[in-house]
Amino acid sequence: MGVDATFMKKIFLISFLAMALNAQAQVVVSVHETAKDQPVIPAEIYGQFSEHLGKCIYEGIWVGPGSSIPNVDGYRTDVLNALKALKVPVLRWPGGCFADEYHWMDGIGPREDRPKLVNNNWGGTVEDNSFGTHEFLNLCEMLGAEPYISGNVGSGTVEELAKWVEYMTAENGTMAELRAKNGRREPWKVKYLGVGNENWGCGGDMTAQYYSDVYKRYALYARNYSGNSLFKVACGASGDDYEWTRTLMKNARSKMNGLSVHFYTVRDWNHKGSALQFTPEEYYATLAYSYRIDEILRNHSDIMDAYDPQKTVALMLDEWGTWFDVEPGTNPGHLFQQNTMRDAMVAAVNLNVFNRHTDRLKMANIAQIVNVLQSMILTDGPRMVLTPTYHVFRMFNVHQDATFVPSEASCGTIVSCDGDVMPSFSQSVSRDSAGLIHISMANPYLDKAVSVEVNFDELKPRSVSGEILKASAINACNEFGKAPQVQPARFNGARVSGKKLTLTLPAASVVVLEIK
């Protein structure tokens, strides 16, 4: 006899609520600051992603020098300043799916002469190519960010990618002369080159075996010029497609520096749900589903270890984040969604996970930087707001290029109505070049505060300070023309006693501590 699906869902929900009520309200964190030979957390773990999609580039970053919106050489001033404060370490461009239909020659030369095309991937809007290679690489220089170029393999040619690399990085030759003619005499430094994007899907609908051969051909002709050394990234798997990783590592590992993976927090691609209107059960289900990335990173790393025990090939999570239904009344192809305290919790939990995987994981790029999916910034004409996710990234940037410090937390688990399991507390620890220790923590519970005791191996803290991010409701967001509902505040709740810290994390909050 079959079991009624609705009945089973109720049983899961009852079990989940019982666990939430009975789970530990007290957590003990053990910090091993004396551990030796720990990896550095690459700044690129806090990377960003910008695609020609909706209002990410146009209006979000670029308004043009003739715009009435205040700008610096066409880059809108408010967004530029906000991104500088974020300390963006690396920026991926021009896609995404757009990259494998992008022909870079369309985006150079006088802007009025650049061809217009229809953006077939994202909403059918007209792309005027006014933001191209020069505009992107100049932006990276202004931000102090490493450029991450996503090359066209799906519809481009080997020669096209090879000449693009030469145009950007060669000091002499025909491509360098063309670059100089277009206003840039000195070559740029371009570190990261993605050889294709999602080539299993929108980037060419290829098999892993076929793509591995294609990758080697394209990568061969992407040369190093004028002292520039390319870090070549092969297109990797979607989520838990471990066979793709196995095939690429078997066939192409000696030709690549990095291998990507993509994972979005989407429980059901046919019913993504609202970014703003959701139940407590949907909140926990979203957060626990996002925690699957811990297992996915671990499993991909294990496969890579089997072929590359010296860890010479980096794992690059160059697309991740929440993906909900677009806001009502907006173009479905522009992927514009609001950003709430729920998104901030997802960001904090994921970043804490990433920090623990940096022996293999060397980059992560959230999707996307402005106006698209789980963005840092939203704009509406001349207006701009910083999202809850922005604040998490800004608070957590203390971990960039810091040394990882091992830690573990004694806590319970949360089991969602979908059956996904995650710890009921999230933390990571690092030590920066000045010797300061930073601890980032997140309490995912909606209905209870958590008492936390932090114990060090030997350290006796002299002082502790911090910031907290919380809101009056889990679906609180920052809206145009209104006072922000979600923004960081000083946190003075930690107390020092010998080798111990004690504090209380309010429900659904994120705290980052600095310890001297």
For residue 91, what are the β-bridge partners? 48, 147
Catalytic residue among 51, 146, 166, 319: 319
User: Which strands, in side-by-side order, build the sheet including 26-31?
Assistant: 407-410, 26-31, 450-456, 500-505, 495-497
User: What angle (nearest 5°) sits at the alpha carbon of residue 371, between those of residues 290 and 351?
Assistant: 30
- Residue 186: phi and psi, rounded to 5, are -75, 140
DSSP tag of 490: E
Q: Tally Cβ neighbours within 10 Å of residue 204.
A: 19
Q: How far, CA to CA in Å, does 437 sit from each of 29, 327, 402, 479? A: 14, 40, 9, 34
Q: Is 319 a catalytic residue?
A: yes
Structure tokens given for 252:
């192409």
Parallel, antiparallel, or unpaired for β 117-118 and 437-443? unpaired
Coil, strand or helix at 83? helix
198 is catalytic: yes
Structure tokens at 380: 């509406």
The SS3 call for residue 218 is: helix
DSSP state of 420: -
Q: Of the residues 141, 198, 479, 514, which is catalytic?
A: 198
Q: Give the DSSP letter string of 137-201.
A: HHHHHHHTPEEEEEE--SS--HHHHHHHHHHHH-SSSHHHHHHHHTT--SPPP--EEEE-S-TTT
Roughly what angle, to the nearest 10 degrees, separates helices 388-396 and 341-355? 30
Peptide bond into 368 cis (omega under 30): yes
Which residues are annotated as catalytic? 198, 319
